[in-house]
Amino acid sequence: MTLSPYPVVKLKPKADARAIRHGAPWVFSDELVLDRRTRALEPGTIAVLADGERQEMALVAITPASRITCRILDRDPAARIDAEWLRRRIATAMAMREHLYDAPFYRLVHAEADGLPGMVIDRFGDTAVVQPNAAWADRLMPEITAVLQEMGIANIVRNGSGRTRSLEGLEEFIRVEAGAVEGPVPVPMNGATYMADLLGGQKTGLFYDQRPNHAFAARLGRGGSVLDVFSHVGGFALAALAQGATEALAVDGSAPALELAEQGARESGLADRFTTRKGDAFDEMTALAEEGRKFDLVVCDPPAFAPGKKSLEAGLRAYERVARLAAGLVAPGGYLVLCSCSHAADLARFRQASTRGIGRGGRLGQLIHTGFAGPDHPMHPQLAESGYLKALFYRLDG
């Protein structure tokens, strides 16, 4: 028998070991025996998880100071977490994406749902942006970089930003780990070309998760005018123009994001029908209403107003306010799309807040479609947080 090279951490006797055996991906601090030895482990240490009977259950990555103390890496306690292990996991994720998409532009790894907890990789052709949001992944970044290069991805960016890293005790920075990245990267999607800033943009530079919702909204916008609020780099607006919208106005608070949207419009040959307004989304929607503006399709895709339970009620009020202001800008018989990326606001609560806001805006309508993230953002069936994105498509009356 070969002794494991990893330390052992133990569940408390009353912890629900069955949930972990049945696929739960996390172990919380109140479920573990956090003795002095366990607390002394470095964040990102690989360990063997044992149940209250000392039976080995899985390999985990441990961060003793985090509420999510252990992330399940492998259900086989005898596995080894090394470059070959990473190669198998990433290759499996890539094979599914290559089956789904004709071009190499997609989310390559979606954290727990792809068996690589706390790590996100977005692919932009021969460039990848890695977000190692968990300490174990950050420690293995050299191996991750090497594996991606073996797979034909020449340029690797480490995006070490975001509040999750601080919870893991990690510093924040963005840097090129391999190859070179110069300027925004063009990304073909839904008939348009988007410009992704991989070194200074939001998240990894582009939101692939909205791809199917961009496409559905674009069908609704054919032959009409479009307002894209919280537009970032023009996600909904450019897709709608590519599918035959007559004009599109993008509103965002970020001048760099709007500049990228304008560059994308030029690259797509759509600049003559595309305009932008920089400013606070709530203020701009109020101003557009005062100007008497109406649009055949209005889309609002705000940042996460409810990133956690503590902000849920305030977030729901913000979503309601968005719906109220946006509803007044929709032409009779037009369409309204409302999005949320807040995992704390589940679909039912978000739909309730949105529908209430539409009513407060003096409008009634039909809910014709509910959209979610694309298949390159798979859900972990036992992790509600992995199904964070919701998009509600309404047709409003006169």
Catalytic residues: 341
Q: Which residues of 355-387 are buried (b: 16+ CB within 10 A; e: fewer)?
A: bebbeebebebeeebebbbbbbbbbbeebeebb
Question: CA 311 to CA 304: how far, in whole Å?
Answer: 10
| DSSP label of 209 | G
Given its phi and psi angles, is residue 251 left (phi above 0), alpha (psi -120 to 50 degrees) or beta? beta
| DSSP label of 151 | T
**Phi, then psi, of 278 in degrees rounded to 5:** -95, 135
Question: CA 5 to CA 340: how far, in whole Å?
Answer: 43
Q: Where would I find the H helices in the chain?
A: 17-21, 36-39, 83-100, 135-139, 141-150, 163-167, 211-220, 235-242, 255-267, 281-290, 312-327, 347-360
Cα–Cα distances (Å) from 381 to 23, 24, 179, 235, in that order, read: 9, 9, 36, 28
Contact 62, 38 (CB under 8 A): yes
